Chains A and B, each alone.
Chain A
Amino acid sequence: MEHFRLRVLICAGTGCMSSGSKKVVTALCEQLANKGLEQEIKIVETGCHGFCEMGPLVIIDPQGVFYIRVQEADVADIVEEHLCNGRIVERLLYKEIGAEKGILSYKDIDFYKKQKRIVLANCGHIDPEQIDDAMAVGGYDALNKALKTMKPSEIIDEVKKSGLRGRGGGGFPSGVKWGFTRNTPGDKKYVICNADEGDPGAFMDRSLLEGDPHRVIEGMAICGYAIGADEGYFYVRAEYPLAIKRLRIAIQQAEEKGLIGDNIFGTGFNFHLKIKEGAGAFVCGEETALMASIEGKRGTPRSRPPFPAVSGLWGKPTNINNVETFGNVPQIITKGADWYASIGTASSTGTKVFALTGRINHTGLAEVPMGITMREIIYDIGGGIQGGKKFKAVQIGGPSGGCLPEELLDMSVDYDSLLQVGAMMGSGGLVVMDETTCMVDISKFFLSFTQEESCGKCTPCREGTKRMLEILTRITQGLGREGDLELLEVLAKNIKLTALCGLGQTAPNPVLSTLRYFRSEYEAHIKEKRCPAGACLGLTQYIITAACKGCGLCLKECPVVAISGEKKALHTIDQAKCVKCGACMAKCPFKAITKG
């Protein structure tokens, strides 16, 4: 058994790899070899540790010293100063905004302190390509306990008691769904893991699969045993090549150890896993479309009933759950439902992994107990708005969700509260927007996405979203008309009621939500032909205010000679000539030019 005095953990998730962590790994390996230290110091390439804004991330255990934005050129200092001589490289430490001194350990950083990492516990701490790492910290213990000491019905009761709800967006009680599938008679059943994470702004599932794939595999196997299935599929979107690679390795290693396959732990339980790659269709995240895709067909949904639990893949009873849902299962079995239900709120138990993105200082992944407020997520963990700008809204739930304005920042983040305010939990992607974001433009953005991804099978979605998009486009171009907003609302309500699947039924949500909280912005676009945020190009005006000192710099800068004025007197912009390039505003030394 090897003994290392130090472990160097380097994030090798997709995020850090694209900011150079692979080169850091290579440099580290070379330099440690040159100094003959490979036997004393272990290099571990881990999955995503979550603090993506500060990547590439390096952690030195056992102290947990946390280095940020590490580049190839920094490796020499880390090796010489820290690894050889025990001296911290101060310049690579993280500093809270405005602080002078760096923080030594990630455990003391607000971004991590306020989290409760259950599902993500191992991400960033183990090598996902070595099954022994996962097993050393309890991997497959829950499966062992389940197979050897629990009956399938007991497992389902435990999952029901825990209150676990689907983490993919629907929030349906997982134990109840497992129960339906178990109770459907049949010799052949399937378990499917929905890893088609298609919401723009969401990367929780990707990181979990890249960082701790065995946790999800274990959850699926426990489910298979509980419902009576001997075969499982991972449906992973093709845009996640690293997740697919690590899953392949994990499944192979689990098979080699007899943890997946025939006669697991000698109990007679068989469970085989296969991976199917998506082919670029957002609608295949919908369960019936997903199953059609596995069957080799066009990914169009079908009506339900029958639900997958009764008739699913190839007509057999099937249980489909999201990656994060399965990721929660092992700990529920190991530590018990009561423990799990003590976290979060009464009707939304446990934790949720959120992807913090957009105009926020600390982008990355955070796992927090349900019931936390949005303000805590955005300000305490997220570090507030970039550039000191003003918070405007946070989009939650992706293209199916809604936005929360400032007045809702103190609401509890849980499944039911969010539904009440016109939003939804969704997969957990949070996109933070500031004063420069136009809410009309954002709803047009989401609707363009859902229109593009609509499978075309049902008229309400295929035709309805197209008509809504046309109206929104006109509004952003200054061609909005009296009655447009009422028409949008009528269309939205009809589509929600009549579309075939979740994609169509929720596509109008961003529009309804922004109309509810930002109606005045829509009205400004239509009545005044003005975009208050200054984002819709055709509706933005650059105006020189009274702060102008008449220096003439903007006049010289303007590429279309649209500015006129005498020296030391107020200058003006001819709106008819102005092409809205913004060069004048960028040049003005007195901040006298505004956009809006």
Chain B
Amino acid sequence: MNNNQTQCCCGGNTNQFVKLDEILKKYLGVKGALIPVLQETQHAYGYLPKEVLQNMAEKMDIPVSEIYGVVTFYAQFHLNPRGKNIIRVCQGTACHVRGGKAILQAIEDALKIKAGGTTLDLLFTLETVACIGACGLAPVMMINDDTHGRLTPETTTAILASYTEVM
């Protein structure tokens, strides 16, 4: 699959790197800028397309293999397209002890994907995280920037349904 076509509606090659160029301008001359550049680039493109990384390598004068090494090291970076809504189910200790596994199971059953996967309609991507830091409300999940706590399998599927309706 040609990654460019999922992101760029004009289909051409010239406009592909406009967003990247804007980001790079901000970090010109800044030390240790690779990770913030990657973070903003992923935010702009939805994920990190291969061509964008190659272009970034040329412009930042960093070998693409080094960039690839950084991208694959950190859990935050993704080389494949992601869903519109990112679900992060906490599997940390406090959530584990208060039933976190059952919540993950409920989501996998409802969306018919496993952790790490994206639904075919690109509506949801499901991830597990080790700890969201809202342990007082265990078990917890985040959908995009919203945190949902004190979950049961029933309330979890209801929350998922509310995101589907909004679309």
Contacts and interface: CB of A to CB of B under 8 A. Distances in A.
Interface in A190-210: 197-203, 206
B5 interface: no
A364 B94 CA distance: 12
B70 A200 contact: no
Given A15-B136, A453-B130, A276 B36 contact: yes
Contact of B149 (A15, A299, A356): A15
B140 A200 contact: no
Residues of A contacting B: mostly: mixed
Contacts of B147: 14, 17-18
Contacts of A455: 73
B138 interface: yes
Contacts of B138: 357-358, 363
A440 interface: no
Contacts of A203: 133-136
B39 A298 contact: no
A206 B147 CA distance: 14
Contacts of B131: 198-202, 239
Interface of A: 14-15, 17-19, 52-53, 55, 197-203, 206, 238-241, 276-282, 293-299, 314, 355-359, 363-365, 395, 398, 429, 431-433, 437, 442, 445-446, 449, 452-453, 455
B74 A279 contact: yes
Interface stretch (B11-19, B26-34, B112-120): B26-34
Contacts, number: 141
Nearest to B75: A280
B82 interface: no
A358 B38 CA distance: 36
Contacts of B130: 198, 200, 282, 449, 452-453
Nearest to B37: A296
Given A52-B134, A55-B136, 8 more contacts: A14-B134, A198-B131, A201-B131, A203-B134, A239-B131, A280-B77, A296-B35, A357-B138
Contacts of A201: 92-94, 131, 135
Interface in B132-166: 132-138, 140, 145-150
Contacts of A298: 69-70, 73
16 contacts: A18-B137, A203-B136, A238-B39, A241-B145, A276-B36, A357-B94, A357-B97, A357-B138, A358-B94, A358-B138, A364-B136, A432-B97, A433-B97, A442-B93, A446-B93, A453-B130
Interface string B57-96: 0000000000001100111110000000000100011111
A52 B32 contact: no
A238 B74 CA distance: 11
Given A200-B92, A355-B135, A398-B93, A314 B31 contact: yes
A279 B35 contact: yes
A421 B109 CA distance: 43
Interface of B: 31-36, 38-39, 69-70, 73-77, 88, 92-98, 129-138, 140, 145-150
Contacts of A398: 93
- Of residues B38, B70, B75, which shows the largest number of chain A Cβ atoms within 10 Å of its Cβ? B75
A279 B134 contact: no
Given A203-B135, A239-B129, A18 B75 contact: no
Contacts of B129: 239
A206 B133 CA distance: 7
B34 A296 contact: yes
A19 B32 contact: no
B70 A296 contact: yes
B133 A359 contact: no
A433 B96 CA distance: 11
A431 B94 contact: yes
In this complex, which of B33, B93, B149 has the most chain A Cβ atoms within 10 angstroms of its Cβ? B93
Contact of A280 (B31, B74, B92): B74
Nearest to B73: A298
A433 B134 CA distance: 18
A454 to B, nearest CB: 12
Given A296-B33, A398-B93, A359 B98 contact: yes
A313 B141 CA distance: 35
B97 A15 contact: no
Most buried by A among B77, B88, B92, B135: B135
A202 B92 CA distance: 10
Nearest to A233: B32
A281 B134 contact: no
Contacts of B35: 276-277, 279, 293, 296
B150 A239 contact: no
